């Protein structure tokens, strides 16, 4: 009607002009009508966080690509009791808008209605939209556990441990609880847990673990340990504290054969403890010496702990084996000095000096057991075989030694040994699988990042990082099995180790040493309980004499942190210094005896 009146007022007498005027006015009217309705507003997401904070995100669109920009957006939030709150936002140049942290404290639980209105500069309604969310401030166990995931897992594991369950049960239970909480009680996601457990035991290098355990078990039942003990006793028993020094040396040599601290406690401790008691040593000192000297087996190759670390940290296992020799011998040196000092303080009598004939006979009988470190270290160092192949060779050599050379084991003995080894290996691999799954849960939940950021480790220097790592592994192994600690903590610290430029081999030796110390440290060091079971002694009697040895081990740890050459020198000689390797190679290939002797002197 308005258009008709405007045409009638048009003064032109030409019908053609009036017709054109009509068409123009009609077009303008239709355009203006459409432009008032070509804007739309949408809600992308509306979510309540922390039970009382509402976040609303949306976008607006228009056909002219312009009228939806920089427009006012009113948001009215209502509950079922007609209580309401109003918030204002504005669309940006892309049409996006949001309401952040709208406080719902004053609104009641239940359905919350959200009404959105877009207004022009003249407060004209351009578009409307609405959505709803549900407010629920009641206590929910799953939400509480998710907000306190690390604490929940830790409490569950402590309860199970204190209830007497073996370590594998708390690990699996903690990992299962983590998956249950992280995936909102979806039991179908437990397949991720199984996948991670299988991934944890998949590395081929793990084959070396059961091999070394089997060879150590064979030698423990046979006479290899006895031959090594006789050799050491023949050369050092006559000095002051010679029996104690012999014990430390025998533990080191058997560690180079077996790679297991617990096997060393059994094989060396059982025959030497009666001799030490007869020699005048206190039982508390004897037990502490055996428990702590057996830790050298964790550093002298082959070391099961180094194999696990090498797999988890993706570090060269041969380099770890060679790097562990220096620290192991340094610990033996300090233990020997302490044994001599102890003997002088307590006036321990010396043993009769062995004749050279006795020494020659003991050396002759020990040549076969001494072949173990030669085969393992020499074979790996010479590139003849890998650590896994060295483990297989050690089993064959142990079986040959005890079955054919010494003739101490029958076929039935080998069967019983294999069966007991199978049980141990099953436990170890369950621990490895459970530890891998547990480490994955922690990583998925980003718990390590939260813990490390809370102590500010990302801003620390190399020495500070090494100190934190040492404390973490030392304390961890005081309560938990060493393999589990390595599986859980190494992935946590690996990014920090790389970021500060530390040598992973050097870090691996420090970690291995801390694991060894923790294994012999109260309250729950595993070597302590092995000694309790083997020697039938009460807990306090076993741990009473450990403080001096723990002090020595911690002192070596400090030396390793500040003087990495203790561990890395032999590694660099074996794998990095090409000139030395060339000289060694020339010694073996030289046909001229005189030239060979001169090279040896050099």
585 pLDDT higher than 60: no
Q: How does pLDDT run across 356-388, given as a tens digit for each residue?
A: 888 899 888 888 888 887 887 778 777 788 888
- Mean pLDDT, residues 44-48: 89
Q: What pLDDT is recorded for position 34?
A: 44
Task: Give the helix ranges, DSSP H, for 279-348.
Answer: 283-293, 304-313, 317-323, 325-345
**pLDDT band of 19, cuts 50, 70, 90:** low
Question: How many CB atoms are located within 10 Å of the residue 386 CB?
Answer: 16
Give the model's pLDDT for residue 584. Answer: 46
**Bridge partners, residue 60, by sequence:** 41
Residue 53 three-state SS = strand
Using CA atoms, how far apart are residues 254 and 215, in angstroms rounded to an integer?
Answer: 11
Closest CA to 201 of 437, 441, 477: 437
Q: What is the DSSP letter of 96?
A: E
| pLDDT computed for residue 20 by the predictor | 60
493 has a pLDDT exceeding 90: no
pTM above 0.75, yes or no: no
pLDDT value at position 266?
79
Residue 256 has pLDDT above 80, yes or no: no
Q: Band of the pLDDT at 330, cuts 50, 70, 90?
A: very high
Cis before 368 (ω within 30): no
Integer angstrom CA distances of residue 76 from 103, 104, 108, 200, 243: 12, 12, 15, 53, 87
For residue 351, give the DSSP letter: P
| CA–CA separation, 200 and 592 (whole Å) | 52
Identify the top-confidence range among 1-5, 158-162, 411-415: 411-415
Closest CA to 512 of 479, 545, 477: 477
- Of 48, 75, 18, nearest to 143 by C-alpha is 48
Instruction: Encode pLDDT of 437-463 as tens digits.
Output: 888 888 788 777 777 777 777 788 889
Judged against a pLDDT cut of 70, whether residue 44 lies above it is answered with yes
Of 14-23, 113-122, 491-500, which gets the smallest average pLDDT?
Answer: 14-23
| Residues contacting residue 593 through CB under 8 Å, at least 6 positions apart | none
Phi-psi region of 46 (alpha: psi -120 to 50; beta: other; left: phi over 0): beta
Q: Helices in 165-241 by DSSP H: which ranges? A: 168-182, 190-200, 208-221, 224-236
pLDDT exceeds 50 at position 595: no
Please state, in angstroms and rounded to a whole number, the distance separating the CA atoms of residues 145 and 106: 26
Q: Which helix (H) or strand (E) holds 38?
A: none
* Model pLDDT, residue 7: 47
Structure tokens at 330: 């340094």
Q: How confident is the model at residue 36 (pLDDT cuts 50, 70, 90)?
A: very low
- The Cα-based distances of 242 to 157, 353, 356 in angstroms read 45, 10, 17
Contact indicator for 214, 409 with CB cutoff of 8 Å: no
DSSP state letters, 484-508: HHHHHHHHHHHHHHHHTT--HHHHH
Query: Which token pair is 39?
Result: 């804007």
Confidence of residue 278 (pLDDT cuts 50, 70, 90): confident
Phi, psi values for residue 109, rounded to 5°: -65, 155
pLDDT band at 200 (very low <50, low <70, confident <90, very high): confident
Residues 6+ apart with CB under 8 A from 222: 398, 401, 402, 406, 408, 409
pLDDT more than 70, % of the chain? 88
Residues 339 and 248: their CA atoms lie apart, in Å, by 9
**Residue 8 binned pLDDT confidence (cut-offs 50, 70, 90):** low
Distances (CA, A) of 480 to 23, 28, 474, 554: 89, 82, 10, 19
According to the model, what pLDDT value does residue 16 have? 58
* Dihedral (Cα; 499, 502, 508, 511), 10-degree rounding: -80
Lowest-pLDDT range, 319-323, 495-499, 525-529, 579-583?
579-583
pLDDT of residue 543: 85
Q: Which residues contact 22 (CB under 8 A, 6 or more apart)?
A: 3, 7
Tell me how far apart the alpha carbons of residues 264 and 293 are, in angstroms, rounded to a whole number.
9
Q: What percent of the chain has pLDDT over 90?
A: 15
Q: Is 39's pLDDT higher than 50? A: yes
Looking at residue 161, its pLDDT comes to 78
- Whose tokens are 């290098």? That residue is 205
Q: What is the pLDDT of residue 126?
A: 84
In whole angstroms, what is the distance from residue 281 CA to residue 276 CA? 6
Mean pLDDT score across all residues of the chain:
81
Average pLDDT estimate for 230-244 = 87
Q: Is it the case that residue 2 has pLDDT exceeding 70?
A: no
pLDDT for the residue 593: 40
Q: Evaluate whether 55 touches 102 at the Cβ level (below 8 Å).
A: yes
Strand order in the sheet with 84-90: 84-90, 72-78, 110-119, 125-135
For 379, 396, 564, the CA distances from 576, given in Å and listed in that order, are 17, 31, 15
385 vs 431: CA distance, rounded Å: 28
Q: What is the mean pLDDT of residues 536-555?
A: 88
pLDDT over threshold 70, residue 580: no
Residue 504: is its pLDDT beyond 70? yes
Please give the residue that has the higher pLDDT: either 182 or 7.
182
* H-helix or E-strand spanning residue 298: none
Q: Please give the pLDDT value at position 65.
A: 58
pLDDT for the residue 424? 81
**DSSP strand pairing (125-135 vs 84-90):** unpaired
Q: How far apart are alpha carbons 559 and 46 in whole angstroms? A: 58
Q: What is the pLDDT of residue 565?
A: 92
pLDDT of the residue at 602: 41
Dist CA 30 CA 22 (whole Å): 12
Among all chains, which residue has been given the structure tokens 């081999």? 505
Closest CA to 129 of 45, 20, 233, 52: 45
What DSSP line would sit under 117-155, residue for residue?
EEE-TT--EEEEEEEEEEE--S--HHHHHHHTHHHHHHH
pLDDT bracket for residue 338 (50, 70, 90): very high
Q: Looking at residues 336-344, what average pLDDT do you find?
A: 93
Q: How confident is the model at residue 336 (pLDDT cuts 50, 70, 90)?
A: very high
Distances (CA, A) of 145 to 50, 123, 141, 287: 14, 47, 6, 44
pLDDT of residue 579: 47
Q: Which domains does the chain have, with CATH numbers?
A: 39-135 (2.60.40.10), 205-577 (no CATH)
pLDDT digits (tens, 9 = 90+) for 111-131: 999 999 988 877 888 888 989
Prior bond to 523 cis, omega within 30?
yes
pLDDT score at 181: 86
Closest CA to 43 of 21, 65, 58: 58
Q: Which of 76-80, 112-116, 229-233 has the lowest mean pLDDT?
A: 229-233
Lowest model confidence (mean pLDDT) among 81-85, 377-381, 598-602: 598-602
Residue 39 near residue 118 (C-beta atoms within 8 A) = yes
């Amino acid at each position: 009607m308005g258009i008709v009146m405007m045409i009638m007022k048009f003064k032109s007498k030409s019908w053609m002009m009036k017709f054109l005027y009509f068409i123009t006015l009609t077009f303008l009217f239709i355009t203006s009508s459409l432009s008032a309705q070509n804007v739309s507003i949408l809600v992308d997401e509306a979510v309540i966080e922390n039970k009382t904070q509402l976040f609303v995100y949306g976008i607006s669109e228009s056909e002219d690509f312009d009228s939806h920009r920089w427009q006012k957006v009113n948001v009215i939030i209502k509950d079922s009791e007609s209580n309401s709150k109003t918030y204002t936002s504005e669309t940006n140049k892309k049409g996006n808008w949001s309401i952040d942290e709208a406080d719902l404290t004053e609104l009641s639980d239940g359905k919350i209605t959200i009404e959105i209105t877009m207004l022009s500069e003249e407060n004209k309604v351009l578009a409307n939209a609405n959505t709803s969310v549900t407010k629920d401030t009641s206590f929910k166990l799953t939400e509480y556990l998710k907000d306190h995931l690390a604490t929940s897992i830790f409490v569950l594991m402590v309860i199970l441990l204190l209830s007497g369950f073996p370590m594998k049960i708390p690990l699996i239970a903690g990992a299962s609880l983590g998956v249950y909480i992280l995936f909102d009680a979806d039991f179908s996601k437990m397949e991720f847990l199984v996948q991670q457990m299988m991934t944890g035991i998949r590395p081929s290098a793990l084959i070396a673990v059961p091999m070394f355990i089997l060879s150590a078990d064979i030698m423990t039942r046979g006479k290899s340990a006895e031959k090594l003990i006789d050799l050491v006793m023949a050369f050092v028993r006559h000095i002051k504290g010679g029996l104690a020094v012999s014990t430390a040396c025998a533990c080191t040599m058997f560690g180079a054969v077996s790679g297991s601290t617990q096997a060393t406690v059994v094989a060396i401790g059982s025959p030497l403890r009666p001799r030490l008691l007869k020699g005048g040593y206190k039982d508390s000192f004897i037990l502490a010496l055996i428990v702590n000297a057996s830790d050298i087996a964790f550093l002298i190759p082959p070391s099961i702990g180094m194999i696990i670390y090498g797999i988890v940290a993706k570090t060269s296992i041969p380099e770890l084996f060679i790097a562990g020799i220096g620290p192991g011998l340094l610990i033996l040196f300090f233990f020997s000095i302490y044994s001599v000092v102890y003997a002088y303080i307590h006036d321990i009598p010396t043993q009769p000096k062995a004749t050279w004939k006795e020494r020659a006979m003991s050396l002759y009988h020990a040549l076969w057991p001494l072949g173990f470190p030669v085969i393992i270290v020499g074979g790996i160092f010479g590139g003849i075989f890998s650590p896994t192949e060295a483990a297989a060779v050690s089993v064959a050599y142990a079986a040959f030694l005890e079955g054919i050379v010494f003739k101490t084991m029958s076929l039935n003995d080998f069967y019983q040994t294999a069966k007991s080894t199978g049980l141990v290996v099953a436990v170890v691999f369950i621990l490895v699988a459970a530890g891998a799954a547990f480490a994955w849960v922690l990583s998925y939940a980003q718990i390590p990042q939260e813990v490390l950021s809370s102590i500010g480790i990302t801003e620390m220097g190399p020495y500070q990082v090494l100190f934190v790592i040492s404390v973490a592994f030392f304390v961890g192994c005081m309560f938990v099995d060493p393999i589990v600690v390595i599986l859980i903590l190494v992935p946590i610290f690996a990014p920090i180790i790389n970021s500060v430029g530390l040598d992973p081999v050097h870090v691996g030796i420090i970690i291995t040493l801390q694991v060894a110390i923790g294994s012999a440290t109260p309250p729950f060091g595993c070597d302590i309980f092995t000694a309790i079971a083997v020697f039938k002694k009460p807990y306090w009697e076993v741990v009473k004499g450990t403080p001096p040895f723990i002090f020595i081990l911690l002192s070596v740890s400090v030396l390793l942190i500040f003087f990495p050459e203790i561990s890395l020198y032999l590694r660099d000689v074996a794998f990095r210094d090409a000139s030395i390797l060339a000289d060694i190679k020339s010694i073996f290939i030289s046909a001229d005896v005189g030239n060979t002797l001169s090279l040896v002197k050099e």
